Amino acid sequence: TARNLFLLPGDGIGPEAMGEVRKIIAYMNEAMNAGFVTDEGLVGGCAYDAHGAAISEADMQKALAADAVLFGAVGGPKWDSVPYEVRPEAGLLRLRKDLQLFANLRPAICYPALAAASSLKPELVEGLDILIIRELTGGVYFGEPKEIIDLGNGQKRGIDTQVYDTYEIERIAGVAFEMARTRQNRVCSMEKRNVMKSGVLWNQVVTETHKAKYSDVQLEHMLADAGGMQLVRQPKQFDVIVTDNLFGDMLSDVAAMLTGSLGMLPSASLGAPDGKTGKRKALYEPVHGSAPDIAGKGIANPIAMIASFAMCLRYSFNLVKEADDLEKAIANVLDKGVRTGDIMADGARQVGTVEMGDAILAEFKTL
């Protein structure tokens, strides 16, 4: 049976990075009979340019119908002043919301070959392997009211609303506990219960979910500001971190930067398993952005996009061996000293986007 992938390369370096994934898909179809069928659409600034929206209805339908969506990156200075409703990010937010991708998995791992690139002391990040589980369809990103009101007298009021319901917290906590069981069995939940009512509820529901179904997992609670501090101070203390949409945005970016491997980090955004088929909607995207300053130059690092495809193999198609091999191929190529400019180091060999993709594919073929 066909495996349907919908590709949304987006803006900036997105298309270049996606090109390297395409090669891997083609190889897997040819040599492994993987049966991937791909279609492609527009998202972000390029979609706005083409039809005035950050993603078209037709492409939304294709995203909804696909087994998995591969997403590049969106945005750039060209679209800095387009109306709020059609800004590039709106395409990504709509995909997350309409596909109900409530669980965002962001591994923050430190590739051994890159520990020196971290701004932290190497001993603090060597071997680092954190999984941040960020709630992705709730909180202040989507709560209403969300508006700017004109109060007269030259005064305006900007309003956003943070909203979390019990079931939303329960299901994301469940994902965190399940993931922890496949790892070091430890979860740290972060919120600001000392100032936010949604934080109070978050804390309660995580605690109850733990007690009811996952008491074998070790659970800790931390205030989100203290969590940010601890990530910088002693990141290896964490296994799985579960937190809300906005704190997850901040904390996962800090965690990503710690690893020195920002250009290498993938993410998966998952929906709930379908009651009948067990299938879950999913979108895979690199953590880095569209990097407009280096777009089109052939120098972008495609590793995060390729590693996102590895997550896709694992979570959408249960191709565990293939996912492991692809991740191993990335690590091996780094070990051999092949580097794009962003992760260049003394004595390494600097390559462009295409060469990096080729090197990873070549390595993948040997595994």
Ligand X SMILES: CC(C)[C@H](C(=O)O)[C@@H](O)C(=O)O
Residues in contact with ligand X by the rule CB under 6 A: 89, 92-93, 194-195, 225, 249
Number of residues in contact with its own copies under rule CB under 8 A: 60
Interface residues for its own copies in 228-267 (CB under 8 A)?
228-229, 231-234, 246-247, 249-251, 253-254, 256-258, 262
Closer by beta carbon to ligand X, 193 or else 339: 193
- The piece of 41-49, 141-149, 174-182, 318-326 that touches its own copies (CB under 8 A) is 141-149
Catalytically active residues, by annotation: 141, 192, 225, 249, 253
* Residue 141 binds its own copies, judged by CB under 8 A: yes
Min CB(162)–its own copies separation in Å: 4
Residue (of 70, 117, 16) closest to 355 by Cα position: 16
C-alpha span between 286 and 266 (Å, rounded) = 4
Shortest Å distance, C-beta 287 to ligand X: 7
Q: What is the DSSP letter of 294?
A: G
Residues sharing a CB contact under 8 Å with residue 41, sequence separation 6 or more, in sequence order: 6, 7, 8, 47, 55, 56, 58, 59, 62, 63
Tell me the binding residues for Mg(2+). Answer: 225, 249, 253
Residue from 24, 100, 102 nearest 313 by CA: 24
- CA distances 315 to 9, 81, 127, 282, 321, Å, are 20, 37, 23, 8, 12
Radius of gyration of the chain (CA): 20
Cβ contact 100:126 at 8 Å: no
Token pair listed for 168: 């939303």
Tokens of 153: 């007298």
Q: How far is the CB of 298 from ligand X (least distance, A)?
A: 24
Instruction: State which of positions 266-295 bind its own copies (CB under 8 A).
Output: none
81 binds, among ligand X, its own copies, none (CB under 5 to 8 A by kind): none
d(CA 52, CA 303): 31
Q: Which two tokens stand for residue 49?
A: 């340019």
Q: Contact with its own copies (CB under 8 A): which of 82, 201, 272, 348?
A: 201
Residue holding tokens 């987006």? Answer: 10
Cβ(20)–Cβ(304) below 8 Å: no
Q: Least distance to its own copies from the beta carbon of 202, Å?
A: 7
| Residue 166 site contact among ligand X, its own copies, none (CB < 5 to 8 Å, cut-off depends on kind) | its own copies
Q: Considering only residues 69 through 88, tell me which ones interact with its own copies, judged by CB under 8 A.
A: 75, 84, 87
Of the candidates 75, 13, 23, the one whose C-alpha atom is nearest the C-alpha of residue 262 is 13
Under the binding rule (CB under 8 A), the answer on residue 211 touching its own copies is no
Q: How far is the CB of 77 from ligand X (least distance, A)?
A: 15
Name which of 208 and 355 has its Cβ closer to its own copies: 208
Binding site residues, its own copies, CB under 8 A: 75, 84, 87, 89, 93, 119-121, 124, 140-141, 143, 146-148, 151, 154-167, 192, 194-202, 224-226, 228-229, 231-234, 246-247, 249-251, 253-254, 256-258, 262
